[in-house]
Chain A
């Protein structure tokens, strides 16, 4: 840092105004962490300044100042990430875009232009009011648009329409130098040169700061239903996923849950999970234009599941019932969190999910531990939970994680399908990725951010 903290704070005040610069640590505590489980969460550095700009030009001025002074900048969104990607791990500036939250729906083009600080909840409500639909649902509606894009968020509704990358059509970004770029636009097709937009999506704040985005929407489906199907065991449930997809039914989501975890989540919310049958269950969300169409799809998926001995499917139809089921599913992580060391999101080709589950079972047996699992079965994305033993993280944790990562890669997968690399998976990325590929990634980072001021220590080291 080529400037004193006081001088830097003064410069930031001159850009955004006094009330939007915070230097007292006690007033920035919630910006020093994300939702990463405490045992693996990186520690925030000292000597931090929190700044909250209102416009792209202010973001540009902040980055220009920081770049000249070689001060690290840590862009933060809703701080709902699980790999410490936004934790300010070096002295520097925390850049929160929470005041930039305007949303502009463009019904004619079925798109929304959203500022980075708008929350997922804001976005869903605005779309709903306009009769439109934004399918991804990474879980926490406090997540912000900038963060959703920077982390290429996935979530439970990716089977039919894909993850965040499939929706972002354009972005306004600010480079480390303060220069503003407009990538893509309200375009369905765009082959004009290398696609920098897709380089930025999922870059976890290490290449630039996303200030605004153009996001594709869908017309709102009039009808939806959430189906819960019980199975006798893990394998039957996972086999059913392929059978459902081959039947021609394309759900918004196919989620895998087990009774222990889902009942724990329900109890955590003071609710009751509606289906107690089976040792494993699939939670399937379908949408359609008519009730008839939905029921035909339900019958098809029921037939596919019954081929492998599934129990009777149960339907959540009203908005209240569907919200409740999704809420309980979304809170498994919250319910497990107090006893959690780390949540993994190894992702394999969907047809290899059964093999990954076998590998996890073998690893659990080998180390004599319980590894709760649930996940986005339709996406081949499994959340394995490494738990505390007698209230603390034991020696087995590192070995278990390494073996699960290796199993995932061996099955044609990646170490992370949606949570990203952040601060806590940099070593694993290095191990699991080809050296040439890593070298290209490092080159790209240097090209975008030669002074390494943007979210240093994250993704690529």
Chain B
């Protein structure tokens, strides 16, 4: 996670196969608040779903200057995802429960040790310009994304295990992809946002005229930062989709204005509904969609900076936060308690590790044993994210109750990611949802590791276990290895993960097909399933 990514609305679902459907339904059940929740299932299953109509969607928008049409580039919150998700397709796509379905791919199969993957494409898929999708387009897309000269950091980060020199066309509709390391999670990697398949030779400058995808909608008009107009792609490969004739995505930056637009029926759906507005939306007869969401806000301790070098101090800190209260105070109740482990919806998430709770007695014992009983700790917070400050206050209260001295330092939001994050020994971070392997890679071995700098012996042992797991095809074995790594991280790591955040959307009762999705928002913007 990083600031730009967060500004771009960014939840990323790296990660292997996610929870089982049953787990997910259980979670969703907990996420359901009141009868207003939408749970009607995909629109096509709905008897009343009819064809046609224009869906008007209110999104927060963002700086016009950052808005862009490059299918592999970051853009602005909501718009970026919704445009790319509907105008383009990927090889796979994420379902509401976090598992991946084939989209442009017919099949994606590995060799025995997951180093060589064969991708067979659906036949007869048409781009918006009428041309047919072939293996050449996929090869061109991968090479464009991976070429460092193009600076497509987010997109290339998702498929950085691919060897650009090892992509071979084996047939008009088939290619093989050699990986630089064994990666059993490849189907999820190619289903990440920004890994959109473009026509061979497609290049910038990106305009409405050359926004040529295979997605359910064509881009008809674009006003940067203000509005996107989409029209149904009649030759879309999925039979009977899309149901809508058109989609208008409109920027309404202010949350209250967004709610007003929905309640007065000027738009049919909005994303990023503030918790405080949910009762109003319900009382006006609209539906609130509660997405389980796996975004998390950790308190991060730099394990190479005193006093957090001592594992006993780290454990004590983990015991000093009242997690239930944190959910209540910082999230208005819209969250689930965390256990200092990430990738909540990944099937590798180890739920059998005991839930950590507030324990002032044990925390003080640990601090005493570490010789830190009189130490004043300092937690650096900021308004860079809306829940940083309330979370700091909940932590402060817990520490105070235990008689541990703590000062909360508030740094400017503007410079938080430059001057505080990665510098202060005890501060905050913010992550969107990622699957287990992707998150592990980004937190401990790739480019965000200075957050906790967890590089000691236990960390190395844990990372070796994770590498072994990623190279293992057998799920049971993979679970055992991942679980051992998580246990080490839970005991020794530098993250305090108090909760996972739920995200809210709202739709008019006439809108069908918007079901809760682990990826916020609006059912991962899969407008092909929406109808009236």
B and A form one assembly: no
**B→A interface (CB under 8 Å):** none
**A→B interface (CB under 8 Å):** none
